Structure 1
Amino acid sequence: SMEAALEFSKADVPVMFFGMPQPGATGPVTLAGSLVVNNAEVLGCLVITQLTCPGAPVIYGAGIAAFDMRTLKRAGGGPEHGLTGAAAAELASYYGMPSIVGGFVSTAKTPGAQACYEKFASGFPPVFSGCSMIAGIGLLDDCTTLAFEEILIDAEIVKMVFRIAQGIEVNDNTLALDIIRKVGPGGNFLAEKHTLQNLRREHFIPELTDRRSFEAWIKDGGKDLVKMAKEKVKVILQKHHVQPLEKEAQKEIKNIIKKAEKDLVAY
């Protein structure tokens, strides 16, 4: 993989070094200890890259999830993954590098409650640490399975997390003292221009989350989150039309593939 990274670096293509020590197995059981191992791996690769190709763009990566001693499996959806992702993002920031970590990951085998709470736990911390990129959207079974409906559910989770990270802005507009005086006691703000201007910026507007009454939900079939996501996937796939590549691009790609096939045969 280092040889491949150097070839990309020669072409000025950004490369990422994504350490994945598992605390308790391939790294110290302590999160700090495994972060040390990951940091050494990434910085070691960075030095080799820069000595070979000075100035080559490099991304600091980490996917440090706990090793489950009962199942002997990586626990990608655990809170440890979120914590180490946040720490790795801060280390990358310290070194002045962009970062990519695993997050919004789950060990659940199918979309559902476990997937939702694990993805929140593993994705929330790195967002708050200012991570440049987070990988895990749509993935299940610790990144071995991709589900279209999970992509939509994860998008909902991500938007919620980003809204929390946005925080509460405090200024003359958001304090809205003039509007409060105008409406007065007992009034409402539904028809105010201020509401229209600030609604989408201030409020999370869900696409899947059902906020209707129980009666309305039952009348509409009582669909759970996964069923709603599956139905939306079908609509997207039916309506979406893939834009074809330009003919010149298609020709160039075919030429690259032919050359690669010849090189592989020669090798």
Structure 2
Amino acid sequence: MNAQIIEIDRHPAPVKRRGRAQRAMDRANVTPLRFHTRAIPAYHLLGEVALTALEDQADWILEHVGMEFRGDDVALDLFAQAGAKVEGQRVRFERGLARQLCATAPEQFALHARDPLNTVTLGGDHIVLMPGYGSPFVSDLDRGRRYATLEDFENFVKLAYMSPHLHHSGGTVCEPTDVPVIKRHLDMVSAHLTLSTKPFMGGVTSPQRARDSIDMARIVFGSDFVANNAVMQGNINVNSPMVFDDTMSGALRVYAEANQCVCVSPAIFGGAMGPVTPAAMAAQTLAEAMVGIALTQLVRPGCPVVFGSFHSTMNLRTGALTFGMPEANLVTMALSQLGRRLGVPVRSGGGQITSSNAPDGQAMQDSTNAMWATMLSGCHQVWHAAGWLEGGLTMSYEKFIMDLENCGAFLRLFQSMIVNDETLSRDSYLEAGPGQNFLSTAHTMRHFAAANYESLLPDAGPYETWKDNGSKTAAQRANGRWKEMLASYVQPPMEQATQQALAEFVAQRKASMHDEWY
């Protein structure tokens, strides 16, 4: 008998007949968040011999090539005290030392949300999905491609909050380019804290911006709670190959000192930041990530971490990045195995990523290919699960909705199949009999409301109905859907004193800054 998967629905809807209009209204409002653990086991791509070879290669890289920490004497001193060989800015590790330094990182931990019902677990069999990250542009079918604004950023935070298929608010979902760089982290973190109650990511583009993010979290969660619990994440990108600059390592240390989650994410494009072969990409990613994770543990043993990655293949004839390709998908699956062996939660390098410039067939083919590998790999956190276009340069409103559709279907699939007396439903056969339909049986009436995954997109209907309604493509139907969602958004409540303290902090920090845009 297969194990049953528990899907926590905090506010289950009553089972009753509802018309299409009512169902559309229900979907337009905030849907109860469902927490998902995988029932389908992670796919083990590689055996022991291959995994050991990749780990040996990572050790070889760290022993013979090493990592550079540029401009961060504190990090260099910490590694020297831990037994690494430091020469100038280069740090080399004897075989096994980096892995040993990672040993105090937790294998699983809670990432707390403003609404405790939205707190998630990273590690184990848990799956946490979040939207895209870092796009300077946005697009929609009405206004086309344009630079993202703070309004766009807030819109995507609202959409992520409203979706039951995203468990995390994300970070820099898109860059609000109408706000100076030195100030925009304040607006972004404020939006995450006030417009959503899901977990989120803070600023990392300077150590001070990381401190501001943590101070804002302390206002909302309380200093004592933040001191003892992870309430936010910082995305620390390695400047692959094998370099940490002082911005990233400095922000890493700020988050680690505050006991907040650090996601260490090497970014390797095969042929540019590393060799072209999947095995080399996987081993180099492991090497770079271990060093970042080791630094978090030297700063604060037990600091929660995530082993991240962002990797892609390239068209070596043109230099263009490609996404959803089999070689990158193989790396995704190998890294999840390596992360589990390291004993830390894993952030996938995949998600619903594409090089397509429009929410079209190529976009969904690339995205679905990458998402299959991501979900099968057994990773714990999936970035870029919604909205990504144009190699990450653009967040698309329509693709966000189309990706949510896939997210919901994947999450439902990975609950696997429940086999028991109720799901086998012998009473239905006795009630309906040969040649009769099962639409009105007692079993169907008990389960019809939740039996099948229900699409987020308006039903296209048969060809004639679809044609009469304007022959709308999936992207066009998604255009109407995101507008419906934003129109029905209701901001989650926050205590007035907390909201005022947060606003005053943002105002004071902005007033202390010059008006430069850097």
Please report the TM-score for the alignment, with normalisation by the length of structure 2: 0.48
1:126-165 aligned at under 5 Å gives the runs 126-136=374-384, 137-165=386-414
Partner residue of 1:95? 342
RMSD: 2.3
1:65-76 aligned at under 5 Å gives the runs 65-76=312-323
Task: Give the whole-Å Cα distance in 1 for the aligned partners of 2:458 and 2:354.
Answer: 20
Task: Give the whole-Å Cα distance in 1 for the aligned partners of 2:342 and 2:445.
Answer: 43
**After superposition, what is the alpha-carbon deviation per residue over 1:186-205, rounded to whole angstroms, capped at 9, x for unaligned?**
11110123123334544221
Q: Which moved more, 1:231-240 or 1:103-112?
A: 231-240
Partner residue of 1:185? 434
Partner residue of 1:60? 307
**After superposition, what is the alpha-carbon deviation per residue over 1:113-165, rounded to whole angstroms, capped at 9, x for unaligned?**
11111110111111122222111110101111011111110001112222332
Task: Give the whole-Å Cα distance in 2 for the aligned partners of 1:202 and 1:80.
Answer: 36
Report if the CA contact (8 A) 1:77-1:105 is conserved. Answer: yes
1:227-242 aligned at under 5 Å gives the runs 227-242=476-491
Task: Give the whole-Å Cα distance in 2 for the aligned partners of 1:89 and 1:196.
Answer: 41
Partner residue of 1:116? 364
Partner residue of 2:257? 10
Counterpart amino acid of residue 424 in structure 2? L
Counterpart amino acid of residue 375 in structure 2? V
Task: Give the whole-Å Cα distance in 2 for the aligned partners of 1:209 and 1:125.
Answer: 28
Task: Give the whole-Å Cα distance in 2 for the aligned partners of 1:16 and 1:68.
Answer: 28
Q: Which moved more, 1:211-220 or 1:150-159?
A: 211-220
Q: Which moved more, 1:240-249 or 1:37-46?
A: 240-249
Report if the CA contact (8 A) 2:458-2:477 is conserved. Answer: no
Counterpart amino acid of residue 443 in structure 2? H
Report if the CA contact (8 A) 2:278-2:328 is conserved. Answer: no
Report if the CA contact (8 A) 1:80-1:122 is conserved. Answer: no
Report if the CA contact (8 A) 1:79-1:118 is conserved. Answer: no
**Structure with the higher helix share, 1 or 2:** 1
Partner residue of 1:196? 445
Task: Give the whole-Å Cα distance in 2 for the aligned partners of 1:118 and 1:32.
Answer: 22
Paired positions, count? 265
Counterpart amino acid of residue 438 in structure 2? F
Task: Give the whole-Å Cα distance in 2 for the aligned partners of 1:87 and 1:56.
Answer: 25
1:83 lines up with 2:330 in the alignment = yes
Task: Give the whole-Å Cα distance in 1 for the aligned partners of 2:397 and 2:355.
Answer: 16
Counterpart amino acid of residue 223 in structure 1? K
Partner residue of 1:251? 501
Report if the CA contact (8 A) 1:67-1:75 is conserved. Answer: yes
1:27 lines up with 2:277 in the alignment = no
Q: Which moved more, 1:149-158 or 1:215-224?
A: 215-224
1 or 2 for the larger relative contact order (CA 8 Å, sep ≥6)?
2
Per the alignment, in what secondary structure is the counterpart of residue 269 of structure 2?
coil
Q: Which moved more, 1:193-202 or 1:38-47?
A: 193-202
Task: Give the whole-Å Cα distance in 1 for the aligned partners of 2:264 and 2:491.
Answer: 32
Shift of 1:111: 0.8
Report if the CA contact (8 A) 2:431-2:441 is conserved. Answer: no
Report if the CA contact (8 A) 2:428-2:442 is conserved. Answer: no
Per the alignment, in what secondary structure is the counterpart of residue 428 of structure 2?
helix
Task: Give the whole-Å Cα distance in 2 for the aligned partners of 1:256 and 1:263.
Answer: 11
Counterpart amino acid of residue 151 in structure 1? F
Task: Give the whole-Å Cα distance in 2 for the aligned partners of 1:197 and 1:95.
Answer: 45
Report if the CA contact (8 A) 1:83-1:122 is conserved. Answer: no
Shift of 1:263: 7.9
Shift of 1:247: 4.4
Per the alignment, in what secondary structure is the counterpart of residue 142 of structure 1?
helix
Which blocks of at least 5 consecutive residues in structure 2 are unaligned? Answer: 1-247
Please report the TM-score for the alignment, with normalisation by the length of structure 1: 0.89
**After superposition, what is the alpha-carbon deviation per residue over 1:201-242, rounded to whole angstroms, capped at 9, x for unaligned?**
442211226452111211222111111111122222333244
